[in-house]
């Protein structure tokens, strides 16, 4: 476990621990990072355990941006990330998301985004699971996953390419009114990506490898 964590940390795939209000009113993150109690309900952030203070509720955030940037540094994966550009069907059949009306609609709305094949199209899924298959357990786990639609269809849902972005843990089932609170760190990253982040493509010619993702 130690060596695995050391390796992922070195390549920039570590996770961040974000404390949450026990009632999930806010995350102690961003402008609220230094608060000890929730501004909305007054609940304490920590509980006393012996001489230590432990957070009552924790969210784990696996940053998306470093993950995407690393994909363009691996030659084989970087080539797959622009697969959709050269492999659109011309017979009217839908074999990949790039062939459907929704993709064309996005292209029409954001022409500049559409002209750059390196730009990433993402699909988000969230669902609660009971760990270890224990049906009587009161503990729930909610992984927030992203699939990358730039890839060939036979890779989109492969475990290697599915990106874990958030891990929500707790005894209470995640409900609609607090899901928006939990997802804030991911939304912040997506907004940052929409503005553009500096990236490096190992397959481009020298002098042209730096680009905006």
Q: What is the pLDDT of residue 89?
A: 79
Tens-place pLDDT, residues 50-102: 889 999 999 999 999 999 999 999 999 999 999 998 887 778 788 888 888 99
Decide: 27 and 47 in contact? Cβ < 8 Å: no
Confidence check: pLDDT of 161 > 70: yes
User: Helix axis angle, 64-71 relative to 184-195, nearest 10°?
Assistant: 40
Q: What is the pLDDT of residue 126?
A: 87
In order, the DSSP letters of 24-54 are SS-EE-GGGTT-SB-TTT--BSEEEETTEEE
Confidence check: pLDDT of 129 > 80: no
Q: Hey, how many other C-beta atoms are within 10 angstroms of the C-beta on 38? A: 19
Q: What is the pLDDT of residue 88?
A: 78
pTM of the full predicted structure? 0.87
* 3-state secondary structure at position 20: strand
First and final C-alpha spacing in the chain = 33
Confidence check: pLDDT of 171 > 90: no
Which uninterrupted H or E stretch holds 122? strand 122-126
Average pLDDT for the chain: 90
Could you identify the residue written with the tokens 């001489």?
A: 51
């Amino acid at each position: 476990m130690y060596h695995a964590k050391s390796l992922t940390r070195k390549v920039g795939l570590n996770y961040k621990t974000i404390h949450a209000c026990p009632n999930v009113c806010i995350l102690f993150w961003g402008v609220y990072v230094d608060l000890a109690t929730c501004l909305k309900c007054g609940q304490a952030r920590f509980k006393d355990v012996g001489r230590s203070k432990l957070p009552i509720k924790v969210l784990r955030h696996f940053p998306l941006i470093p993950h995407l940037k690393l994909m363009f540094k691996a030659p084989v994966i970087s080539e797959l990330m622009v697969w959709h550009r050269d492999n659109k069907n011309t017979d009217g059949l839908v074999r990949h998301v790039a062939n459907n009306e929704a993709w064309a609609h996005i292209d029409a709305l954001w022409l500049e985004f559409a002209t750059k094949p390196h730009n990433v199209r993402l699909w988000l899924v969230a669902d609660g699971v009971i760990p270890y298959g224990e049906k009587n357990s009161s503990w729930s786990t909610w992984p927030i996953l992203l699939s990358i639609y730039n890839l060939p269809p036979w890779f989109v849902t492969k475990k290697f390419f599915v990106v874990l972005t958030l891990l929500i843990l707790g005894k209470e089932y995640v409900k609609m009114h607090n899901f928006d609170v939990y997802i804030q760190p991911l939304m912040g990253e997506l907004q940052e990506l929409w503005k553009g982040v500096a990236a490096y493509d190992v397959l481009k010619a020298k002098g042209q490898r730096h680009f905006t993702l």
